[in-house]
Amino acid sequence: MSSLSFRHLLDSNQIQESDLEKLFTLADEYHLKPQLDCKQKIVATLFFEPSTRTRFSFESAMHRLGGRVLSLENGETSSVKKGESLADTGRIVSNYADIIVMRHPKIGSVNEFAEFAHVPVINAGDGSNQHPTQSLVDVYTIFREKKTLDGLRIGILGDLKHGRAVHSLMTLLTRYKNNHFTLISHPDLGLAKEDREAFEKHGCKLEETSNLEEGIKNLDVLYVTRTQFERFDAGNSKGFKDNYCVNKKLLSAAKNDLIVLHPLPRTGEIDSEIDDLPQAKYFAQANYAVFIRMALLSLMTNTR
Ligand code: NCD
């Protein structure tokens, strides 16, 4: 049994504070000195949706740990295309790998797959639902940069309705009662009512606005996301596009020590003119992803 509190990682709700401590400590260690802890291990990455960072950082993580990688970068080339069920795919791939990382457009699909897999499964994104390892990357970045996960003023900008990275991150950060959230979105892309209610249960404050200039004032962290056009029919509405842009002018109204994060890819919501400013941490965030995923792979395969 792994020293983490979960066997499969499907939802950020499963992640306990003790898991964060273990993962952060090991990620710090790997950052300083990579070790070949997964020499005998194989990860299979099954992606039924596009990915650059998530798949590559998992694969890079396994290579850095001395393990091997089986990669399905396009689900269309697997037997699922011939009609094989996710359950059978889970049973079969479990014979060939020690851990499986999977992304799929359907909500709940990775849970269904994990039920039939006999090795640990990591959800790398199921539709608009959850993306728990991205939230680990995000909180690790915030912790490295701010030295705390509590008592922060956090702005979440963009598509809060369909963004799985947003849902997973808020699952983790709303547990800390002293955090204050400013949710900034187009009125049609706000957080679903049931999500909002679930997050508010923990007692932290959530306020909503569609005014970015107002919303950015006093923030410690601004988490920017793109509009998830592939998840809904935006019709001809141009309103969703070019709706917000984080640029130098906007940052001049923010605190000097604000940090700007983005799970990436960005599609216009962050102007590249801020890339070299000290506030821009989204590329550092993509780099931290490797160390957090190394820690996950070795703890979930019991090699540490
Ligand atoms: C995110 C995703 O796939 O949900 N990207 C990522 O994993 N880094 C965010 C997005 O696609 O907008």
Q: Evaluate: CB of 127 within 6 angstroms of ligand 1.
A: no
pLDDT in tens, 245-276: 999 999 999 999 999 999 999 999 999 999 99
What percentage of the chain carries pLDDT values higher than 70?
97
Per-residue DSSP letters for 93-121?
HTTT-SEEEEEESSTTHHHHHHHH-SS-E
Residue 245, number of CB atoms within 10 A of its CB = 14
Whole-angstrom Cα Rg for the chain: 19
What is the mean predicted confidence (pLDDT) over 131-150?
Answer: 98
Residue 96 CA to residue 60 CA, distance in Å, equals: 19
> Looking at per-residue confidence, does 210 or 25 come out higher?
25
Task: Please give the distance, rounded to the nearest whole angstrom, from the Cα atom of residue 158 to the centre of ligand 1.
Answer: 13
Pocket test for ligand 1, best of 122, 164, 223, 229 (most atoms within 8 A of CB): 164
Pairwise CA distance, residues 139 & 86, whole Å = 31
Does any ligand 1 atom lie closer than 6 A to the CB of residue 158?
Answer: no
pLDDT value of position 241 = 65
- What pLDDT, in 10s, does the model give residues 19-33? 999 999 999 999 999
Q: Does pLDDT of 1 surpass 70? A: no
Of all protein residues, the one whose alpha carbon is nearest to atom 6 of ligand 1 is 263
Per-residue pLDDT at 80 exceeds 90: no
Inform me whether the pLDDT recorded for 242 exceeds 70. Answer: no
For ligand 1, the distance from its centroid to the CA atom of residue 100, given in whole angstroms, is: 19
Give residue 238's pLDDT.
59
Catalytically active residues, by annotation:
53-54, 82, 103, 131
User: What pLDDT, on the 0 to 100 scale, is given for residue 83?
Assistant: 86
pLDDT grade, residue 296 (50/70/90)? very high
Kindly give the residue spans of alpha helices, DSSP state H, lying in 94-206. Answer: 109-116, 132-146, 164-173, 193-200
Q: Which distant-in-sequence residues (6+ apart) come within 8 Å of 175 by Cβ? A: 17, 202
